[in-house]
Structure 1
């Protein structure tokens, strides 16, 4: 099972990332914009995704891993169940969320040479 410490380690390994509290829980920021935060329950991670369509695809394809609440209706944000996600997938999800929130220049500079954005920012 992935833990909050695993989330912290993966998130803080991304370029120019910092941790500070949001709603009393750990949250991770890139140049002042949040890209991930722990929910109060401690076993859910809040992540932005590229679109509401992508959110619905994740919820449909992997309901054991991804969930939402009415609070996030109308927002491109999913909740990730830490007990159901493996570290590799979590790393990819965090990197994607980081890319969504990072300034364009920083995100472009962090892209791998092959231009494929999966795995590392």
Structure 2
């Protein structure tokens, strides 16, 4: 399966209180007015929220999937994802849901416990 911009749109808009809005000429997906995902210029990549401290590990572990745009993403808590490198819709859903959780207000997170981070195995 090749993940597409349409898949991103479908999954992102299924998340609670998400809206699509153009910014910089590109589709962005927002929760409570905060961007949590944005499609790239050619619809083959997307940007998602990612803590800066986690980016290097993700990029090192899967460089074919994750990257940053040097000079653009350096100072922001964002990570780029190559859509074609995602395994399936479940992985895309996991990436988008994680980004959504980082942008969503606490009240919305509390109202949707089904979207909370699953407990770590063995702990």
User: Do both proteins adopt the same fold according to a TM-score greater than 0.5, normalized to the shorter chain?
Assistant: yes
Q: Which residue of 2 aligns with 1:5?
A: 6
Give the Cα separation in 1 of the matches to 2:19 and 2:115: 25
115 and 62 in structure 1: CA distance in 2 versus 1, 3 angstrom threshold? closer
Q: State how 1:52-91 maps to structure 2 within 5 Å.
A: 52-70=52-70, 71-85=72-86, 86-91=88-93
Q: State how 1:1-40 maps to structure 2 within 5 Å.
A: 1-40=2-41
- How many residues align structurally? 117
Instruction: Compute the displacement of 1:108 (Å).
Output: 1.8
- Identify unmatched segments of 5+ residues in structure 1: none
25 and 33 in structure 1: CA distance in 2 versus 1, 3 angstrom threshold? same
Give the Cα separation in 2 of the matches to 1:64 and 1:94: 18
Within the candidate set 109, 112, 115, 2:111 is matched to 109
Instruction: Compute the displacement of 1:111 (Å).
Output: 1.6
Question: So what's the TM-score if we normalise by structure 2?
Answer: 0.87
Instruction: Compute the displacement of 1:41 (Å).
Output: 2.5
Deviations 1:12-49 (A, max 9, x none): 00000011101111110111111000111221100011
- Identify unmatched segments of 5+ residues in structure 2: none
For the residue of structure 2 that corresponds to 1:11, the secondary structure is helix
CA RMSD of aligned residues (A): 1.9
